[in-house]
């Protein structure tokens, strides 16, 4: 827009503005403005007609006063009058005033719209542009309503000037963004797309902004733009720097247009047409090649423009994620930037590499830059760059380099900025857990983490260590030893004390053999930290002490002494006091047996998604998705594409849960976007409640396999696969059912019915997707028949109906009981009534391998008692079945006869039905 | 306890900055500038709380004086101090302006050191200060003089030095009052009060003991039949005295006795709300003729003895914000539409009591698309009358100087009454 030229200057306005600038105080300014307003009011009174010049001048003054922050409630009419002037400057001021000060006065809006309409239909391109700019600046709904139909016509009309076309395209873009429902492209679509072929580069640049916005909303309609964009891009890329004259910026041909074209292409998947694709790949290669050429100019603008195109091209390559060659080249290019002088470039390179790292093709290539990235993490001056470097390290981490990366991040943590420490801690914790091959390494890492950055270790991190240590027997001893050593440091962080207290309390016995870490030493070590800790930690330590009493009876006196001291038993904190009192009483009253039961080792934690990961995601916010999540998403997309999802799914279901993936990523369905969990339902398993169980279609071949195991595939046919994962504790159980659709078509009106009580599942199962259902189970009394699960769904047109026995059997509610030989035989004799015993002699249907037998008996849920039976060949087990009504003690004896391939199974329990049922169940297993 | 004291010019630049306590940091200076001086909306409250720090400010022409504290101080004390500070500065170098402050900044720091100590206000009596803080450089004083200063500043009567001698013993008393009023258009008094001061200028030798008497209702009633018949008495709502007045005596006998400081001092300050004589009555008449015209007629009536003359009368009639032209007709004085203030200002030089005058104006309005109605601010008035609107009368002022040989009769005494308008408004 041409500025007001000097000859055209308004002296009055200049004087007024300089007066205001010279005002000493606010009051003086207000006085001057009041005076001017009164003057303008008297001029606008309407007695005499004003000429265009003075009208323009006064409107300008009003505008200036408004921009100083004063209310203006008149002069609109004069401004609208200016719109109909024929002079450019007057019209311009009129439009300026309208776009700054328009209010929804209906009467005025009509006049304004009229004036705009006149200008739009005039042949004068500058007037048309002014009108379009005004529409875009106001951009209100009313404007959109009035002109949304008109502007596309101007945009595609053959005789419209180029400059007007540009304005029209941008104006339309603005209206579309403000009120998308009013801008209907419909018939104009193809002609708008063909603007990409326009002679004038400016028009193309403007149009492409519009098209990018439109096509991101409805990509199908604008599909044709891909090939046009590609050809345009290839023409620009291959042109010499002198071809495009006005549009060559520091020897780079049309950099803005190129960037926009590349961005437009990112709205679409890779072109299917081979020729187009070939041309595009060629373009991208050329861009990558050009980056290698020596710069044509030393000016920073030249390299900026070049790099802008390059980065846009790289993000397109990442978006396509299908050209390994290009991906690797992009990665190498970014690798060069990693060592560039320019900080911004390093930042951008790290950022793009983060996304590259998640692509399977370029992951390896990214990994080659690990040294540089680690160096960046250590030496970068700018904290945001260091942050990116940390992100990239996190993203490029896999099993092969986990140890290195974790070690580097740990060592960096000591000097890291406070702002990113917590995130770093979370990342280290996640990586250590995710890629832990050797759990002693994991324990070392996390303990180091707590030592280095204790303040930034959130609750979740140390919870997680404890979960993992408890769930894995093989590290418990090592963990106890390491924690013990770590605690010996004169000053250790409170989180360390927490972990130490918990682990020593649980597994202190594992290292008690060593005289250096004898029970008393352990206790004294823990207690030396006691006074430095906060209340929750002290409470935890008190619990650890009582566990010590159980583990090491010899410490009892010492610990009781501590508990009895005034600082515990009379502590002002209620929680601490209560614990002290209760633990003291517990230790002095309860017998060792009771104590042993109450203070038993913690049961393993159920597998669940790592809470650390959730925390990291929360921290990053929805904008910056962590790599895992993207991983998950991609997997979801792949599942949608074909049948790749199935092996994945079986994998997840059949592997024993903890080992496959510690994070519970793949087994916990909700993470992957494709499988939303269904509603959960509570099933009461009644003893004889169900109807005559085995109806005609009941499918129970899967059933028996689940007597001795909890996880696996329950059912599978061509269409559907049902996986089960279940956990039991006492008389309660939880069962996860995974319905996997093996086809690529969705199942409609999917429902499951249980013969007891039902709740609907998600009615749709997408092709290749998986739906999860949770069932909570409570055992009221002992029972024989398993609950029936009835599944109905429509596949294509046909109704499918499947009945299954849910593998809920009485033995699932076994609690193992350890007992000595004498104990066992005493109880065995107590249960000597004939109806309490059930016996079966049967032929072995599988091999008689001892290990297999042991595993099965353990899977049954009972405790396998060693050195009880005089004959070492025989197996003796004991357990208690927990139901809501009662507890049924159960003793088992299995006598294999290797020569005859026969077994004799004897069961004694306090309830006859139980003995019979368990005996029946077990007989099928061998 | 004042933590610090800052003086700013109108642009918010710091001219004087004196911090007395450690809890006030350097950033306090900027906080006040940003939040008060440069605030988007005009800050009207004299006390501003920013980040647990209180700023008390007064404005003199273009100069801002701000006292800062983090503690819960007596706000009245702080403002009293700020006003006193202004008085002291005026006494030393005249008008408080940026230039004067810049020229006298050494002096101001010296004064600040003297009148505030660790945030506690000290002796701020100008007369006393002038004896040891001088503008003319340091005179080498004799030992005797120095010890005299010390004993005077630390002694019982800090406000007056000994050994003053005048050939003519003279004494001036000014009763200065400002009358505030808010009246409804129908002439009903919505609120009215008078705040007054008795200012004394004394040129008396030695250490004279003075006694001041006025027509305070309690005193008159106590005396009963004696003087009660002569004139009406007034009820004083509250009053404060100069530090020289013996408060114990006032409490016991309600007699005001004191040894005055040499030169000018404000003897007392008071406030009354009952039986106020309103010197002027304003009768407004506003008529809207259509959307584009307004007719205003205002009558003022003087309501005091015909022999007295009111001066400097100014009536300010606000006009709507969309005024585009004004015609004024008045019989007396001069009237003018001041666009910069959005008001018609009518000035009359002199007006005797029990008279009446009138102005009428036609205001043309510009039609606006704004539906907001004009708020009709009240008509305000300024004037000066030669009597006390509260009705206060000075009954006597006796002077005793036992050591020197002049008596009460030898002192020449002058009494003057001035009533000014405070916020004197009538709604229309």
Answer whether residue A688 shows pLDDT above 80: no
Q: pLDDT band for position A761 (50/70/90)?
A: low
Distance (Å) from the alpha carbon of A37 to chain B's nearest alpha carbon:
8
Q: What was the pLDDT predicted at A322?
A: 82
Q: Do residue A108 and residue B369 have CB atoms under 8 angstroms apart?
A: yes
What is the 8-class DSSP label of residue A642?
Answer: S
Q: pLDDT band for position B193 (50/70/90)?
A: very high
Query: B341 at the A interface (CB within 8 A)?
Result: yes
Same domain as B328, residue B310: yes
Interface test with B, best of A31, A38, A48, A65 (most B CBs within 10 A): A38
Total structural domains within chain B: 3
Residue B134 lies in a domain: no
Query: Order of strands, edge to edge, in the sheet holding A798-805?
Result: A698-699, A798-805, A788-795, A747-754
Instruction: Name the residue with higher pLDDT: A476 or B298.
Output: B298
Asked which of B124, B149, B179 is the last residue of a domain, the reply is B124
Same domain as B319, residue B270: no
A contact set with B (CB within 8 A): 24-26, 31-32, 34-35, 37-39, 41-42, 44-45, 69, 73-74, 76, 103, 105, 107-108
Percent of chain B whose pLDDT exceeds 90 = 48
Answer whether residue A762 shows pLDDT above 90: no
Residue B162 lies in a domain: no
Answer whether residue B139 shows pLDDT above 80: no
CA separation for the pair A333, A290 (Å, rounded): 11
Asked which of B124, B145, B162 is the last residue of a domain, the reply is B124
Residue A366 lies in a domain: no
Nearest to B339 among A39, A74, A103 (CB): A39
CA separation for the pair A774, B273 (Å, rounded): 81
CA separation for the pair B25, B126 (Å, rounded): 30
Six-digit token string for B9: 């010019």
Q: Do residue A45 and residue B324 have CB atoms under 8 angstroms apart?
A: yes
CB B268 within 8 A of CB B256: yes
- The tens digit of pLDDT for each residue in A788-821 reads 777 777 776 667 777 777 788 888 888 887 877 7
Q: Residue A29's closest chain B neighbor by CA?
A: B340
Is A61 known to sit in a ligand binding site? Answer: yes
CA separation for the pair A843, B31 (Å, rounded): 93
Q: What was the pLDDT predicted at A629?
A: 34
Largest CA distance in chain A: 127
Residue B296 lies in a domain: yes
Residue A274 lies in a domain: yes
Q: pLDDT band for position B370 (50/70/90)?
A: low
Q: Residue B341's closest chain A neighbor by CA?
A: A31
Same domain as B256, residue B199: yes
Same domain as A72, residue A91: no
Query: B322 at the A interface (CB within 8 A)?
Result: yes
Same domain as B15, residue B116: yes
Q: What is the mean pLDDT of chain B?
A: 87
Please list every residue in chain B whose beta carbon sits closer than 8 Å to the beta carbon of residue A73: 321-322, 368-370, 372
Q: pLDDT band for position A243 (50/70/90)?
A: low
Classify B29 as helix, strand or coil. helix
Distance (Å) from the alpha carbon of A74 to chain B's nearest alpha carbon:
6
Q: What was the pLDDT predicted at A171?
A: 92
Q: What is the mean pLDDT of chain A?
A: 78
Q: Residue B322's closest chain A neighbor by CA?
A: A41
Is A223 known to sit in a ligand binding site? Answer: no
Lowest mean pLDDT among A277-291, A390-404, A742-756: A742-756
Q: Are strands A814-816 and A788-795 parallel, antiparallel or unpaired?
A: unpaired
Asked which of A540, A570, A605 is the last residue of a domain, the reply is A605
CA separation for the pair B209, B388 (Å, rounded): 26
Taking residues A485-493, report their average pLDDT: 81
Closest alpha carbon to A372 in A399, A353, A344: A353
Nearest to A42 among B324, B341, B372 (CB): B324
Same domain as B48, residue B29: yes
Q: Do residue B325 and residue A108 have CB atoms under 8 angstroms apart?
A: no
Write down how long chain A is.
926
Write down how long chain B is.
428
Answer whether residue B312 shows pLDDT above 90: yes
Same domain as A284, residue A138: yes
Same domain as B359, residue B261: no
Q: What was the pLDDT predicted at A638?
A: 32
Q: Which element (helix H / strand E) includes A738?
A: strand A732-741
Report chain A's C-alpha Rg in angstroms.
39
Q: What was the pLDDT predicted at B419?
A: 95
Classify A27 as helix, strand or coil. helix
CA separation for the pair A265, A12 (Å, rounded): 53
Q: Do residue A74 and residue B369 have CB atoms under 8 angstroms apart?
A: yes
Q: Which residues pair with B207 in a beta bridge?
A: none
Residue B56 lies in a domain: yes
Q: Do residue A45 and residue B364 have CB atoms under 8 angstroms apart?
A: yes
Q: What was the pLDDT predicted at B158?
A: 74
Please list every residue in chain B whose beta carbon sits closer than 8 Å to the beta carbon of residue A74: 322, 366, 368-370
Query: B325 at the A interface (CB within 8 A)?
Result: yes
Taking residues B253-275, report their average pLDDT: 89
Q: pLDDT band for position B379 (50/70/90)?
A: very high
Q: Do residue A35 and residue B325 have CB atoms under 8 angstroms apart?
A: no
CA separation for the pair A82, A56 (Å, rounded): 7
Same domain as A318, residue A252: yes
Same domain as A150, residue A62: no
Taking residues B293-315, report their average pLDDT: 93
- The tens digit of pLDDT for each residue in A566-621 reads 787 788 888 888 888 888 888 888 777 887 788 877 777 776 666 677 777 766 54
Q: Do residue B322 and residue A41 have CB atoms under 8 angstroms apart?
A: yes
CATH number at residue A909: 3.30.310.10
- The tens digit of pLDDT for each residue in B161-184 reads 777 888 888 999 999 999 999 999
pTM as predicted = 0.58
CA separation for the pair A353, A385 (Å, rounded): 13
Residue A371 lies in a domain: no
Total structural domains within chain A: 5
Q: What was the pLDDT predicted at A654?
A: 34
Same domain as A124, residue A61: no
Q: pLDDT band for position A223 (50/70/90)?
A: confident
Query: B293 at the A interface (CB within 8 A)?
Result: no
Q: pLDDT band for position A645 (50/70/90)?
A: very low
Six-digit token string for A678: 């269904």
Same domain as B397, residue B376: no
Q: For residue A32, how far is the Cα from the chain centroid? A: 60
Q: Residue A215's domain spans which residues? A: 78-329
Please list every residue in chain B whose beta carbon sits closer than 8 Å to the beta carbon of residue A26: 42
Lowest mean pLDDT among A269-283, A449-463, B247-261, B267-281: A449-463
Same domain as A817, residue A714: no
CATH number at residue B70: 3.30.450.60
Please list every residue in chain A whose beta carbon sits closer than 8 Å to the beta carbon of residue B374: none
Same domain as A113, residue A64: no
Distance (Å) from the alpha carbon of B10 to chain A's nearest alpha carbon:
6
Query: B364 at the A interface (CB within 8 A)?
Result: yes
Taking residues A537-554, report their average pLDDT: 84
What is the 8-class DSSP label of residue A763?
Answer: S
Highest mean pLDDT, choosing among A347-356, A507-516, A688-697, B330-339: B330-339
How many C-beta neighbours within 10 Å does residue A192 have? Answer: 21
Q: What was the pLDDT predicted at A8?
A: 61
CB B368 within 8 A of CB A72: no
Taking residues A695-720, report their average pLDDT: 68
CB A720 within 8 A of CB A742: yes
Query: B324 at the A interface (CB within 8 A)?
Result: yes
Q: Do residue B342 and residue A45 have CB atoms under 8 angstroms apart?
A: no
- The tens digit of pLDDT for each residue in A301-358 reads 988 998 899 999 988 988 888 888 888 888 888 888 888 888 888 888 888 888 888 7
CB A252 within 8 A of CB A241: yes
CB pairs under 8 A between A and B: 51
Strand locations in A785-862, DSSP E? 788-795, 798-805, 814-816, 837-843
Asked which of A773, A805, A837 is the last residue of a domain, the reply is A805
Same domain as A794, residue A860: no
Answer whether residue A773 shows pLDDT above 90: no
Q: Do residue B42 and residue A42 have CB atoms under 8 angstroms apart?
A: no
CB B416 within 8 A of CB B173: yes
Residue B165 lies in a domain: no
Taking residues A624-640, report their average pLDDT: 35
Lowest mean pLDDT among A31-45, B149-163, B348-362: B149-163
Distance (Å) from the alpha carbon of A78 to chain B's nearest alpha carbon:
12
Same domain as B288, residue B270: no
The per-residue DSSP string of B218-264 comes to HHHHHHTHHHHTTS--B--SEEEE-TTB-HHHHHHH--EEE-PPSEE
Please list every residue in chain A whose beta carbon sits closer than 8 Å to the beta carbon of residue B366: 41, 44-45, 74
Residue B129 lies in a domain: no
How many C-beta neighbours within 10 Å does residue A636 have? Answer: 20
Q: Do residue A44 and residue B10 have CB atoms under 8 angstroms apart?
A: no
What are the CB-based long-range contacts (under 8 Å, 24+) for A839-843? A839/A904, A839/A905, A839/A906, A839/A907, A839/A919, A840/A904, A840/A905, A840/A919, A840/A920, A840/A923, A841/A902, A841/A903, A841/A904, A841/A905, A842/A902, A842/A903, A842/A905, A842/A923, A842/A926, A843/A901, A843/A902, A843/A903
Nearest to B323 among A24, A41, A107 (CB): A41
Distance (Å) from the alpha carbon of B92 to chain A's nearest alpha carbon:
26
Taking residues A477-501, report their average pLDDT: 83
Same domain as B284, residue B236: no
The per-residue DSSP string of A377-402 comes to HHH-S-HHHHHHHHHHHHHH--TTTH
Same domain as B264, residue B224: yes
Asked which of A805, A836, A863 is the last residue of a domain, the reply is A805
Place of tokens 């900080």: A343
Same domain as A202, residue A290: yes
CA separation for the pair B265, B261 (Å, rounded): 7
Q: Residue B184's domain spans which residues? A: 170-276+391-426
Q: Do residue A35 and residue B340 have CB atoms under 8 angstroms apart?
A: yes
Is A60 known to sit in a ligand binding site? Answer: yes
Same domain as A774, residue A903: no
CATH number at residue A141: 1.25.10.10
Q: What was the pLDDT predicted at A106?
A: 65
CATH number at residue B218: 2.60.40.1170
Q: Do residue A34 and residue B341 have CB atoms under 8 angstroms apart?
A: yes
Same domain as B399, residue B271: yes
CA dihedral angle for residue B118, residue B122, residue B126, residue B127, rounded to 10 degrees: -130
Q: Residue A103's closest chain B neighbor by CA?
A: B369
Classify A587 as helix, strand or coil. helix
Residue B140 lies in a domain: no
Residue A360 lies in a domain: no
Distance (Å) from the alpha carbon of A179 to chain B's nearest alpha carbon:
28
Residue A428 lies in a domain: no
Q: pLDDT band for position A62 (50/70/90)?
A: very high
Distance (Å) from the alpha carbon of B98 to chain A's nearest alpha carbon:
12
Same domain as B361, residue B251: no
Q: Which residues pair with B67 in a beta bridge?
A: B5, B56
Same domain as A799, residue A902: no
Answer whether residue B414 shows pLDDT above 90: yes
CA separation for the pair A689, A923 (Å, rounded): 25
Q: pLDDT band for position B225 (50/70/90)?
A: low
Taking residues A81-87, report their average pLDDT: 87
Residues 53-112 of B with CB under 8 A from A: 62
Taking residues B61-85, report their average pLDDT: 92
Answer whether residue A404 shows pLDDT above 80: yes
Classify A722 as helix, strand or coil. strand
CA separation for the pair A57, A48 (Å, rounded): 16
Taking residues B246-258, report their average pLDDT: 88
Q: What angle do CA B325, B338, A74 make, to 5 degrees?
A: 50
Q: Do residue B368 and residue A37 have CB atoms under 8 angstroms apart?
A: no
Same domain as A318, residue A203: yes
Q: ipTM for the complex?
A: 0.72
Residue B151 lies in a domain: no
Please list every residue in chain A whose beta carbon sits closer than 8 Å to the beta carbon of residue B340: 31-32, 34-35, 38
Percent of chain A whose pLDDT exceeds 90 = 6
CA separation for the pair A777, A681 (Å, rounded): 9
Q: What was the pLDDT predicted at A299?
A: 87
Q: Residue B370's closest chain A neighbor by CA?
A: A73
């Amino acid at each position: 827009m041409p500025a007001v030229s000097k000859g055209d200057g308004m002296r009055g306005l200049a004087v007024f503005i300089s007066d205001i600038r010279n005002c000493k105080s606010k009051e003086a300014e207000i006085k001057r403005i009041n005076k001017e307003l009164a003057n303008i009011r008297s001029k606008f009174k309407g007695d005499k007609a004003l000429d265009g010049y003075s009208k323009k001048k006064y409107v300008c003054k009003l505008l200036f006063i408004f921009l100083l922050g004063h209310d203006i409630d008149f002069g609109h009419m004069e401004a609208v009058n200016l719109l109909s002037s024929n002079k450019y400057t007057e019209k311009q001021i009129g439009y300026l005033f309208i776009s700054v000060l328009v209010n929804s006065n209906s009467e005025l809006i009509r006049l304004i719209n009229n004036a705009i309409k006149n200008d739009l239909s005039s042949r004068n391109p500058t007037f048309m542009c002014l009108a379009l700019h005004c529409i875009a600046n106001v951009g209100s709904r009313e404007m959109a309503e009035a002109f949304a139909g008109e502007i596309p016509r101007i945009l595609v009309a053959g005789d419209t000037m180029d400059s007007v076309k540009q304005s029209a395209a941008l104006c339309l873009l603005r209206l579309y963004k403000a009120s998308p429902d009013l801008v209907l492209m419909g018939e104009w679509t193809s002609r708008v797309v063909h603007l990409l072929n326009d002679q004038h580069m400016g028009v193309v640049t403007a149009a492409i902004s519009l098209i990018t916005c439109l096509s991101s909303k409805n990509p199908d309609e604008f599909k044709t733009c891909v090939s046009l964009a590609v050809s345009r891009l290839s023409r620009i890329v291959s042109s010499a720097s002198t071809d495009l004259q006005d549009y060559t910026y520091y020897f780079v041909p049309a950099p803005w247009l190129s960037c926009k074209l590349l961005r437009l292409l990112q709205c679409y998947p890779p072109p299917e047409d081979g020729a187009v694709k070939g041309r595009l790949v060629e373009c991208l290669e050329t861009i990558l090649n050009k980056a290698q050429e020596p710069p044509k100019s030393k000016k920073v603008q030249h390299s900026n423009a070049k790099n802008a195109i390059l980065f846009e091209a790289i993000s397109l390559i990442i978006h396509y994620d299908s050209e390994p060659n290009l991906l690797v080249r992009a990665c190498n290019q970014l690798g060069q930037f990693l060592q560039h002088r320019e900080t911004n470039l390093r930042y951008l390179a790290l950022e793009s590499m983060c996304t590259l790292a998640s692509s399977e093709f370029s992951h390896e290539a990214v990994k080659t830059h690990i040294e540089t990235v680690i160096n960046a993490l250590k030496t970068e001056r700018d904290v945001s760059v260091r942050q990116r470097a940390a992100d990239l390290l996190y993203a490029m981490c896999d099993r092969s380099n986990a140890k290195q990366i974790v070690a580097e991040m740990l060592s960096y943590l000591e000097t890291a900025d406070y702002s990113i420490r917590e995130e770093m801690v979370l990342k280290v914790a996640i990586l250590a857990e995710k890629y832990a091959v050797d759990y002693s390494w994991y324990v070392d890492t996390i303990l180091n983490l707590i030592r280095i950055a204790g303040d930034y270790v959130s609750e979740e991190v140390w919870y997680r260590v404890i979960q993992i240590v408890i769930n894995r027997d093989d590290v418990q001893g090592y963990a106890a030893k390491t924690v013990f050593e770590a605690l010996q440091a004169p000053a250790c962080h409170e989180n360390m004390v927490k972990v130490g207290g918990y682990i020593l309390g649980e597994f202190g016995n594992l290292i008690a053999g060593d005289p250096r870490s004898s029970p008393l030493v352990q206790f004294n070590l823990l207690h030396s930290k006691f006074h430095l800790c906060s209340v929750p930690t002290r409470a935890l330590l008190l619990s650890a002490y009582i566990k010590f009493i159980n583990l090491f009876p010899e410490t009892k006196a010492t610990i009781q002494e501590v508990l009895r001291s005034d600082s515990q038993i009379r502590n002002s904190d209620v929680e601490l006091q209560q614990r002290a009192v209760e633990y003291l009483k517990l230790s002095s009253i309860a017998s060792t047996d009771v104590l042993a039961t109450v203070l038993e080792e913690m049961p393993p934690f159920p597998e669940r998604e790592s809470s650390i990961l959730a925390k990291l995601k929360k921290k990053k916010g929805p904008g910056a998705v962590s790599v895992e999540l993207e991983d998950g998403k991609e997997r979801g997309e792949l599942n949608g594409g074909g049948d790749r999802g199935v092996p994945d799914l079986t994998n997840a279901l059949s592997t024993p849960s903890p080992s496959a993936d510690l994070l519970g990523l793949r087994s916990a369905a909700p993470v992957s976007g494709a499988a939303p969990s269904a509603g959960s339902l509570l099933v009461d398993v009644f003893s004889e409640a169900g109807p005559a169980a085995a109806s005609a279609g009941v499918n129970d071949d899967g059933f028996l396999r689940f007597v001795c195991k909890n996880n696996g595939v329950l059912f599978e046919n061509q269409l559907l696969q049902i996986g089960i994962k279940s956990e039991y504790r006492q008389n309660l159980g939880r069962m996860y059912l995974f319905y996997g659709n093996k086809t690529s078509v969705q199942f409609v009106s999917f429902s499951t019915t249980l013969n007891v009580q039902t709740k609907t599942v998600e009615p749709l199962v997408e092709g290749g997707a998986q739906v999860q259902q949770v069932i909570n189970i409570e055992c009221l009394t002992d029972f024989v028949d398993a609950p029936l699960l009835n599944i109905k769904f429509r596949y294509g047109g046909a109704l499918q109906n499947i009945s299954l026995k849910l593998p809920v059997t009485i033995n699932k509610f076994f609690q193992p009981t350890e007992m000595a030989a004498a104990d066992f035989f005493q109880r065995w004799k107590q249960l000597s009534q004939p109806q309490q015993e059930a016996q079966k002699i049967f032929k072995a249907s599988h091999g008689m391998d001892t290990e297999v037998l042991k595993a099965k008996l353990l899977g049954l849920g009972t405790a396998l008692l060693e050195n009880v039976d005089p004959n070492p060949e025989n197996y003796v087990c004991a357990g208690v079945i927990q139901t809501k009504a009662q507890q049924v003690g159960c003793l088992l004896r299995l006598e294999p006869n290797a020569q005859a391939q026969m077994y004799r199974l004897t069961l004694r329990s306090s309830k006859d039905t139980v003995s019979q049922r368990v005996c029946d169940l077990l007989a099928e297993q061998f | 306890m004042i933590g610090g004291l800052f003086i700013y010019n109108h642009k918010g630049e710091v001219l004087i900055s004196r911090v007395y306590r450690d809890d006030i940091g350097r950033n306090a200076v900027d906080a006040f500038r940003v939040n008060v001086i440069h605030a988007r909306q005009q800050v009207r409250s004299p006390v501003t709380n920013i980040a647990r720090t209180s700023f008390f400010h007064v404005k003199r022409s273009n100069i801002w004086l701000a006292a800062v504290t983090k503690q819960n101080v007596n706000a009245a004390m702080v403002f009293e101090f700020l006003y006193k500070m202004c008085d002291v500065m005026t006494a030393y170098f005249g008008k408080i302006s940026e230039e004067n402050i810049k020229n006298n900044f050494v002096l101001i720091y010296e004064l600040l050191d003297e009148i505030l100590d660790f945030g506690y206000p000290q002796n701020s009596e100008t007369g006393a200060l002038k004896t040891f803080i001088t503008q003319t450089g340091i005179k080498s004083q004799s030992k005797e003089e120095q010890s005299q200063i010390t004993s005077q500043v630390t002694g019982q009567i800090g406000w007056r030095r000994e050994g003053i001698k005048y050939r003519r013993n003279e004494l001036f008393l000014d009763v200065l009052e400002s009358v505030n009023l808010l009246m409804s258009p129908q002439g009903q008094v919505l609120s009215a009060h008078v705040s007054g001061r008795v200012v004394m200028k004394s040129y008396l030798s030695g250490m004279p003991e003075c006694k001041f008497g006025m027509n305070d209702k309690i005193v008159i009633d106590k005396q009963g039949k004696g003087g009660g018949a002569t004139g009406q008495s007034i009820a004083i709502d509250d009053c404060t005295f100069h530090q020289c007045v013996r408060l114990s005596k006032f409490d016991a006998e309600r007699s005001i006795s004191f040894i005055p400081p040499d030169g000018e001092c404000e003897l007392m300050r008071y406030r009354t709300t009952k039986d106020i004589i309103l010197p002027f009555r304003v009768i407004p008449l506003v008529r809207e003729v259509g959307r584009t015209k307004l007719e205003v007629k205002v009558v003022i009536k003087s309501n005091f003895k015909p022999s007295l003359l009111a001066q400097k009368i100014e009536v300010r009639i606000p006009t709507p914000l969309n005024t585009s032209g004004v015609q004024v007709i008045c019989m007396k004085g001069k009237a003018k539409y001041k666009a910069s203030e959005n008001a018609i200002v009518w000035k009359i030089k002199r007006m005797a009591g029990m008279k009446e005058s009138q102005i009428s104006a036609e205001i043309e309005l510009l039609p606006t698309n704004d539906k907001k109605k004009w708020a009709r601010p009240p008509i305000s008035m300024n004037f000066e009358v030669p009597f006390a609107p509260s009705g206060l009368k000075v009954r006597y002022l006796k002077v005793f100087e036992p050591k020197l040989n002049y008596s009460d009769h030898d002192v020449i005494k002058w009494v003057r009454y001035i009533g000014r308008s405070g916020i004197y408004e009538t709604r229309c």
